[in-house]
Amino acid sequence: MPPVGIVGGLFRNKGCEPMNIHEYQAKKLFAENGVAVPEGYLARTPIEAPWPW
């Protein structure tokens, strides 16, 4: 089993099955554990979306 970390795009914990999680779930876990995550918002139209992407 590889060491704790990101392997092949999946988060792995030693001795556990890989976790395949969505970005919003990862951001929540990081924020709850003191990792800085950028604020985000929903752009409902192309005009609301920042440019350049």
Q: What is the mean pLDDT of residues 19-35?
A: 88
pTM above 0.85, yes or no: no
Taking 3-state DSSP, the helix, strand and coil percentages for the chain, each rounded to the nearest 5, stand at 20, 15, 70
pLDDT band for 48, please (50, 70, 90 cuts).
confident
Pairing relation of β-strands 10-12 and 5-7?
antiparallel
Is residue 45's pLDDT more than 60? Answer: yes
Q: What is the pLDDT of residues 5-21, one digit of tens each?
A: 555 555 555 666 676 78
Q: What is the mean pLDDT of residues 24-45?
A: 89
Cα 16 to Cα 11, 30, 52: the distances in Å are 10, 19, 40
Q: What burial letters (b/e) apply to 34-51, b meaning 16+ CB within 10 Å?
A: eeeeeeeeeeeeeeeeee
